Chains A and B, each alone.
Chain A
Amino acid sequence: MLKAVGALFAAVAALLLVVAPASQAATPSPTPSPSSTSFQNSISGFLRGDDRAPLAGVSITAKSGDFTGTTKSGPNGSWTIGVPTQGTYEVELDVKTLPQGIKLAEGQENPRKVSFSQTSNLSVIFAFGKGIVVQQQDFGQNLLNRLVAGLSFGLLLALASVGLSLIFGTTGLTNFAHGEMVTLGAVLVFGFNAMNLPFWLSIILALLGGGLFGYVQDAGLWKPLRRRGTGLVPMMIVSIGLALAVRYVIQFYFGGATQQLPFAQSAEIQVGPVSISPNNLWSLLISVVVIAVLGVVLLKTRLGKATRAVADNPALAAASGIDVDSVIRIVWVTGGMLASLGGILWAYYRPGVTFDMGSQILLLIFAGVTLGGLGTVWGALFGSIIVGIFVELTTVFGLAADLKYVGALFIMIVVLLFRPQGILGRRERVG
């Protein structure tokens, strides 16, 4: 077994050595746009009319002390004034040079005072015509939209948490590396797509890659550790080490930037009373279908029965002739594939692919699993949907968007206070 672990590390190290040079070539760097000034700092903006058409040839002046800079907006409406120092400037748009029929929007200060805040570029927005119209959204409508988005988010969380819960149920391991399994799915799709493979093939390969990762993890690491009789707490800490190693291996190749998968941008469409982006709708449908198939497999097939038997009592399952190790192997592969799928959908939900996208939702996955009850598949599904909807709905009820995960984590702690076994969990699993 020591050999197996050693071989795994050797393989990782060899992989690092062999593939590293490719990574520099693969990371595209944005070409800097040519600057029209010789100064380091600049004030800039885009002039666009009410109908989004660019306004060319409008003269703008920036003044501070005895410095004065003037420019005219270009054909695409953009303007830049280079300034010597970061400080406070008075920016004035010469209204006489505006095209016929275009007026500054009401309440737009002109001239106005602007100041730099630690960046070398300062953008100034002038609004025209009716200006920025704040869209008043009906509260009920907003609630319904967020509810559906939350359901979509919850279901993608469920894909990951069902796998985590199955693994916990059959092996007792709380796997902190599950977030990296989520990341891997999205990163693989991006990688295969960058190799100019067709989109559908990239997705299939990414799912297979996720399954393979689950297989390799179990065969190379977890099975030998189980054989050795390693306790659950040491295994949990090993999974943390694995999570750190895999996260930085991904960053090593992928870089720290946010990348987009194909078709990540999409306008919202109206489905009945709900407005939703097509990506979210697809995500919702795919998750529902996959979870339904998984449910049928677990409830109706021999394999599903065997899995549930192992989750219930591994020793008894082994005694009744079930090959526990092969069931666990299948659970790891399935868990890896489900996590990859969850990761791909998460990349569209955010949207964007980063090396730490999985660890960002790891705690929400844990929250879903603990809410529903550790080790129960339906609990994980149920808990994740609650977490997803809760995260989206708290913003409707006035919680700041940068605090929306806090609500979900907080509710998990509160539920544990009153019902430690989770909503669908059994009493015996606690304490």
Chain B
Amino acid sequence: MDFGFILSSAAGELLSPTTAAYALAALGLAVHFGYSGLLNFGQAGFMAVGAYGFAISTLTFHVPFFVGLLIAVVCSAIFALLLGIPTLRLRADYLAIVTIAAAEIVRYIVTTNQLTSVTGSANGLAAFEGDFYAMNPFPEGSYFGMNNRDFFIRVVGWALVIVCCLLVWLLMRSPWGRVLKGIREDENAVRSLGKNVYSYKMQALVIGGVLGALAGMVFTLPRGAVQPANYGTELTFFLYTCLLLGGLGTVLGPVVGAMIFWVVLSLTQGVLYGLIESGAVTWLNTVQAGQLRYILVGIALMLLMIFRPQGVFGNKKELAFA
């Protein structure tokens, strides 16, 4: 078994664009769930809206990159408003069911054959990343063993993560953020102080949703393709695992959580495949090894929630639930 290779590919996951996308989306969930107590189970839907909003406006309407970006962000904000209107007055579990249903509706709509000319149905869309790479300031060559395209997307993805973390941090220590945390702790107390709870929750939903849409774009750009199968409910659950790993009511928690999530997934895959190839493990095949990893994700989510709900960095007093 080649431990050097296993370790280096796990270390590669640490800063991969997918990890950046997970970190951004989980940061959005931290705004929703960690800071405001909104149980959004539809973050995959927000990511899909972002990715498809960008891809469709680029491919169908031929808009420049930044206009496509703006359209995607606006679409996700509208999606958040549409979701928020019926559900923000309801109890947490209703919000959970409605958001998960809305995310699935988005996935069914982009999968349907009726809209193949726009969404590409199950095959998805591709070749929309040209404008993005055309802006690449790095000349061709090798950067830490990556080509200039891979390096560019990593720089952009992680710069976005840092900027968003900073924004969320500033927001949450502002008076606005304190009201939001107050709503999480006791909605009625905040209401009795004359704050419009509904409007604050709506703003939080929109901000977290926009972060989800940005994550959708970071997720889809390095792949050069967007496919509906990537945006199922399981994506949301993986994001919750990242969030809970790092810590709910923290800014850095989701980022570190996403890193841990991907490094551990990569390590277990490397070790399992290595053991299978070397013949030490005969009761598994490589397909089953892939499934075993997701079994471990599920068990990890349960154990985290039961034994350390505040995550690695979290503070137990800051939990969104008692």
Contact = CB atoms under 8 A, between A and B. Distances in A.
Nearest to B101: A409
A251 interface: yes
Nearest to B187: A431
A252 B292 CA distance: 7
Interface residues of A, number: 54
Contact of A251 (B104, B291, B300): B291
Report which residue of A9, A20, A23, A248 has the largest number of chain B beta carbons within 10 angstroms of its beta carbon: A248
Nearest to A6: B303
Contacts of A400: 112-114
Nearest to A233: B321
A236 B109 contact: no
Interface in B273-305: 282-285, 287-288, 291-292, 294-295, 297-305
B101 A413 contact: yes
A413 B98 contact: yes
Interface stretch (B68-76, B85-93, B140-148, B161-169): B85-93
Contacts of B109: 403, 406
Given A370-B94, A413-B102, A244 B237 contact: yes
Nearest to B300: A241
A237 B240 contact: yes
Given A370-B97, A430-B94, A431-B90, A403 B288 contact: no
A363 to B, nearest CB: 6
B288 A249 contact: no
Contacts of A431: 89-91
B39 A233 contact: yes
A142 interface: no
Contacts of B297: 244-245
A174 interface: yes
B100 interface: yes
Interface stretch (A52-60, A151-159, A224-232): A224-232
8 closest residue pairs by CB, A with B: A245-B298, A244-B298, A241-B301, A241-B302, A417-B86, A20-B283, A248-B294, A409-B101
29 contacts: A17-B283, A174-B97, A234-B305, A237-B244, A237-B305, A240-B240, A241-B237, A241-B302, A244-B298, A245-B295, A245-B298, A252-B291, A252-B292, A400-B112, A403-B108, A405-B104, A406-B108, A409-B101, A409-B102, A409-B104, A410-B105, A412-B97, A413-B98, A417-B86, A420-B89, A430-B90, A430-B94, A431-B90, A431-B91
Interface of B: 39, 85-87, 89-94, 96-98, 100-102, 104-105, 108-109, 111-114, 233-234, 237, 240-241, 244, 282-285, 287-288, 291-292, 294-295, 297-307, 309, 320-322
Given A237-B305, A403-B112, 9 more contacts: A232-B93, A233-B93, A241-B241, A241-B299, A245-B302, A403-B114, A406-B105, A413-B86, A416-B87
